[in-house]
Amino acid sequence: MEGRNNGPPRLARVLLRCALDPEEFNEKSGDLEETFRYLSMNDGPWRARFWYWIQILKAAPMFMMENIYWRFMMWSNYLKTVWRNLKRNTTYSMMTIFGLAIGMCCALVLFMYVYEELTYDRYHENRDRVFRVYEVITTPTAVRKYAPIAWPLAPAVLDKYPQVEAAVRIYAFGTRLIKVNQEAFYEDRFIFAEPSLFNILTFEFLQGDPSRALERPNTLVLTKSIASKYFGDTSPLGSTITVNDQEYEITGIIEDTPRNTHLKTRIIASMKSIEDNQWMSNWHGTETYTYLKLRPDVDSQTFEQDMKRIGYDYVGELWTEWKSVHDFLLQPIDTIHLHSKLRYELETPGNLTMVLLVAGIGLLVLLVACMNYVNLATARSIVRAKEVGLRKVVGANRRELIRQFWGESFILASFTMAVSLGLLVMGLPFFNRLAGTTFDAMALLKSSSIFAVLGIIAFCGLGAGIYPSLLLSSYKPATILRGAVTKGRGGARVRKVMVIFQFVISILLAVSTLIIFQQIRYMKDQYPGFDKDQKLVIPVRGSASIRENHTQIKEEFLRHAAITGAAASSSVPGRGLSNFAIALYGEDDRKNQGMYHLYIDPDFIGEYGIEMAAGRNFEAKMSTDFSDWDKAGGFLLNEAAAKAFGIHDPLEALGRQLQTGLGGRTGPIIGVTRDFHYRGLQNAVEPLIMECFPNRFRCISLTLDTRSLKEGLTHVERIWHEKFPEVPLESFFLDADFNRQYRAEERLGRVAGTFTVMGLCVACLGLLGLASFTAAQRTKEIGIRKVLGASVPGILLLLSRHYLKSILVANAIAWPLTWWAMDLWLNRFATQMSIHIWPFLLAGAGTLLIALMTVSVQSFRAAIANPSDSLRYE
């Protein structure tokens, strides 16, 4: 051979070889080379090379066209094969598609949930330089981290640091009474904010000018849904509404805040409306949520170190004297939802573990559905074997066959995805009601969902296609066409493993669901240490007040025989409590422990059936027991609080002096109560301080006689409207309200339950498919057995035996796994039940029964078939 420089360009030749089959290549490259050599001699090698390349490039479109044309022909043939196979066995196809569709639905729903959790606050335009400031207060005994911080920080930071472009303070005041055109509403998610809010965070303005909307006092911005609730279709811009007796002008309408923000709001009023210089210059409180927007090139960590101790420029001496350290730190706005663990968050933060757990469950269900496909496809391999044989004989090589079967699973996955999207749109409202979620099928139209949809198709197509395609393409044509492939042997072991795996997951989910609900039941049934039945609670808010006249109002209510008791308090068990610092007087090292405070009247303890451990209750007759802003009448503690002060015998606590953080007042401890669960039973009882302080009373609890409930309620309503004609009556029953605290657990339980049912459905569909195929494969065998005298139950047993074995094995694997996982989950609860064996037995027996029924539907049909039918053709 000649040197490589003389021949035609190598790369071009390689390209040519790829594009053509060997014979074509032989001819064409021969022609090209002949001309190349001729040109090379006449015009020189470079011209020749150039010419060669041009020839190849000119040919390129043609090769592509040809290739695509034949690919298309082949694919349309594959498509036809898929369609025929689906049609030939409708039951099988329905089962595969339906099973996979359920799996995909689960995966899609979970994707929506996980996506929402992970994209919290990522839509803000400047999120990489917007931070929330939080405050860490370290005292000798405790470290407390607050989401709301001291008022003067924002102006101080703006004043001192040029790195800060803008700052905004938000004051969230919960619920307000709003009056529009004689109608009154309670609205929560009401916030006050400074005008810079719209510069720092992203809100979509529909009407009004974002830069000027909150500039003046007594102006506010409504979200779209609130605006249409109050004003219907008319534009509310410029109209006024009344908020707690103060008139506000509407200066803007914004789009509803998205679901994935921690700052969900409905009404934003201007901070100027409540501006108070004295109040807002207090460095010691933790009251306002503060957000900073840094300049683009500022390093946030360096800045944080700089800013951390800014409060010391103003009140450093006091803090040093109090031996407390106040640090102001930054958290990026998009990490708040999943990573922030502060006190008084605007919204209960999400939980990353929970997100991952849910994502895991979704993937498992999808996996189960994919396995189904694999199982059914390999079980049917015998049917497809002849096709494989024929294709191979006609000239298909293995690679082409793998491509075909893989393509088939892709086609099926895409088709199934279309089905599952349809199912999802129909089933989502149902799922929402079941799981207490608020997903919207329209969210699937977002671009990010397209990736999820494609991802799931790819996952199923690739994952489920790999094994069947390898298995099917491995058949030798000679063996197949001789009819020597043994019945359904292909991948029998793999199928068994997959069935076991599917049922392990189903059992795991089922047992978990049972245990979750058992635990919730258990918590609800426990006596919380107080009497929560028959209690009607009326929150007193807006312009209504019982500060001065609570005794009189209680008497009014008590006048009816159906109302057997009444008590006034600042809050009730299950609702939020104030948290103030409190100290055992004269003991420095215990200074400033944060404890929950409940303000009650003398009837509260008796009404709620709270037991005393030592000392006495407040006395209505003793005016010295009552607190006001000048003095503390006396304190009741729970046992946990006594322990927190280092007092182990409740009797020892009596008579000791306490100094409360609310007004710095001092008073004696007059009694100690037994611990009662004033918050959900998930947590241990925390220290609680009780004071008889009428100024803080905001709730009336009435004990109703259930026999005359209706009359009682009418009476309550009548009295309320007499007393507070301006304010709508709200009320709730304490037991139901208290149980709301288990909503998170209940939701988890319902989600797990839903997925259990779906997973089990999918697994059973798979089992049904498998069973029908084995039964069909063994028709003749069964016929012969029957001729030889086998009984119907005997044949049933024969056909079901190995499935039962698989399920037993699945139980054996699932039980310890579940036990371990649930033990881990239960450990988070202060009040936890012990795990019983019966949820396991129930789930085990349940799955066994369901599986048995599934299998025997098919087996029974095979077993009762007349042998003369099945053996007729031999």
Partner 1 sequence: MQLISRSEERILLTIFKLDQEAYGVRIREQIYRDTGTWWSYASIYRPLGRLTRRQYVEKAKGESTAERGGKSKYYYTVTSPGKKALLKVREAQRKIWEIVPDVALKTR
- By CB under 8 A, residue 58 contacts partner 1: yes
How far is the CA of 260 from the CAs of 117, 226, 429, in angstroms? 7, 19, 20
Q: Are 512 and 848 in contact (CB under 8 A)?
A: no
Q: 187 pairs with which residues across the strands? A: 176
Minimum CB separation of residue 2 from partner 1 in Å reads: 9
Q: In this chain, which of 15, 33, 616, 817 binds partner 1, going by CB under 8 A?
A: 33
d(C-alpha 122, C-alpha 261), whole Å:
8
Minimum CB separation of residue 74 from partner 1 in Å reads: 17
d(C-alpha 294, C-alpha 4), whole Å:
64
Q: In this chain, which of 9, 45, 55, 470 binds partner 1, going by CB under 8 A?
A: 55
Question: How is residue 33 written in tokens?
Answer: 């080379």
- By CB under 8 A, residue 73 contacts partner 1: no
Alpha helical stretches, state H, 474-616: 477-481, 492-525, 550-558, 603-607
- By CB under 8 A, residue 35 contacts partner 1: yes
Question: For partner 1, which stretch binds (CB under 8 A), given 27-35, 94-102, 287-295, 413-421?
Answer: 27-35
Q: 130 pairs with which residues across the strands? A: 293
Minimum CB separation of residue 20 from partner 1 in Å reads: 10
Q: In this chain, which of 43, 44, 47, 62 binds partner 1, going by CB under 8 A?
A: 62
Q: Which is nearer to partner 1, 56 or 191 (CB)?
A: 56
Q: Which is nearer to partner 1, 34 or 306 (CB)?
A: 34
- By CB under 8 A, residue 777 contacts partner 1: no
- By CB under 8 A, residue 50 contacts partner 1: no
Q: Which is nearer to partner 1, 7 or 846 (CB)?
A: 7
Question: How is residue 683 written in tokens?
Answer: 């947590």
- Site residue total, partner 1 (CB under 8 A): 20
Q: In this chain, which of 9, 15, 37, 244 binds partner 1, going by CB under 8 A?
A: 37
Question: How is residue 693 written in tokens?
Answer: 């302080």
Q: Which is nearer to partner 1, 74 or 315 (CB)?
A: 74
Q: Which is nearer to partner 1, 8 or 407 (CB)?
A: 8
DSSP secondary structure letter of residue 38: H
Q: Which is nearer to partner 1, 32 or 421 (CB)?
A: 32
Q: In this chain, which of 26, 305, 486, 868 binds partner 1, going by CB under 8 A?
A: 26
Q: In this chain, which of 11, 14, 43, 54 binds partner 1, going by CB under 8 A?
A: 54
Alpha helical stretches, state H, 531-589: 550-558
- By CB under 8 A, residue 45 contacts partner 1: no
Question: How is residue 73 written in tokens?
Answer: 């022909």
How far is the CA of 412 from the CAs of 78, 96, 368, 417, 692, in angstroms? 12, 9, 16, 8, 70
d(C-alpha 817, C-alpha 806), whole Å:
17
Q: Are strands 593-599 and 688-691 parallel, antiparallel or unpaired?
A: parallel
Minimum CB separation of residue 50 from partner 1 in Å reads: 13
Question: How is residue 419 written in tokens?
Answer: 């089905």
Minimum CB separation of residue 79 from partner 1 in Å reads: 24
525 CB-contact burial (10 Å; exposed 0-12 / middle 13-18 / buried 19+): exposed
Q: What is the DSSP string of 400-412?
A: HHHHHHHHHHHHH
Q: In this chain, which of 7, 285, 477, 846 binds partner 1, going by CB under 8 A?
A: 7
Residue-wise burial string across 13-30, b where 16 or more C-beta atoms lie within 10 A, e elsewhere: bebbeebbeeeeeeeebe
Q: Are 700 and 546 in contact (CB under 8 A)?
A: yes
- By CB under 8 A, residue 43 contacts partner 1: no
Question: For partner 1, which stretch binds (CB under 8 A), given 30-38, 241-249, 537-545, 766-774?
Answer: 30-38
Q: Which is nearer to partner 1, 29 or 657 (CB)?
A: 29
Instruction: Report the SS3 class of residue 648.
Output: coil
- By CB under 8 A, residue 31 contacts partner 1: yes
Length of the chain, in residues: 874
- By CB under 8 A, residue 34 contacts partner 1: yes
Longest Cα–Cα distance in the chain: 126
Q: Which is nearer to partner 1, 33 or 204 (CB)?
A: 33
* φ, ψ of residue 134 in degrees (nearest 5): -120, 160
d(C-alpha 455, C-alpha 584), whole Å:
61
Q: In this chain, which of 9, 15, 28, 487 binds partner 1, going by CB under 8 A?
A: 28
Q: Are 542 and 244 in contact (CB under 8 A)?
A: yes
Minimum CB separation of residue 55 from partner 1 in Å reads: 5
Q: Which is nearer to partner 1, 45 or 728 (CB)?
A: 45
Q: Are 777 and 382 in contact (CB under 8 A)?
A: yes
Q: Which is nearer to partner 1, 62 or 849 (CB)?
A: 62
Minimum CB separation of residue 5 from partner 1 in Å reads: 14
Q: Which is nearer to partner 1, 26 or 526 (CB)?
A: 26
- By CB under 8 A, residue 30 contacts partner 1: yes
What angle is formed at CA 743 by the lines to CA 737 and CA 747, rounded to 5 degrees? 155
- By CB under 8 A, residue 27 contacts partner 1: yes
Q: Which is nearer to partner 1, 56 or 614 (CB)?
A: 56
Q: Which is nearer to partner 1, 28 or 802 (CB)?
A: 28
Minimum CB separation of residue 34 from partner 1 in Å reads: 5
Q: Which is nearer to partner 1, 35 or 331 (CB)?
A: 35
Residue with tokens 């989910």: 509
Q: Are 760 and 850 in contact (CB under 8 A)?
A: yes
Q: Are 358 and 114 in contact (CB under 8 A)?
A: yes
- By CB under 8 A, residue 44 contacts partner 1: no
Q: 131 pairs with which residues across the strands? A: 292, 332
Question: For partner 1, which stretch binds (CB under 8 A), given 21-29, 216-224, 372-380, 748-756?
Answer: 21-29
- By CB under 8 A, residue 865 contacts partner 1: no
Q: Give the residues lining the site for partner 1 (CB under 8 A).
A: 7, 26-35, 37-38, 54-55, 58-59, 61-62, 66
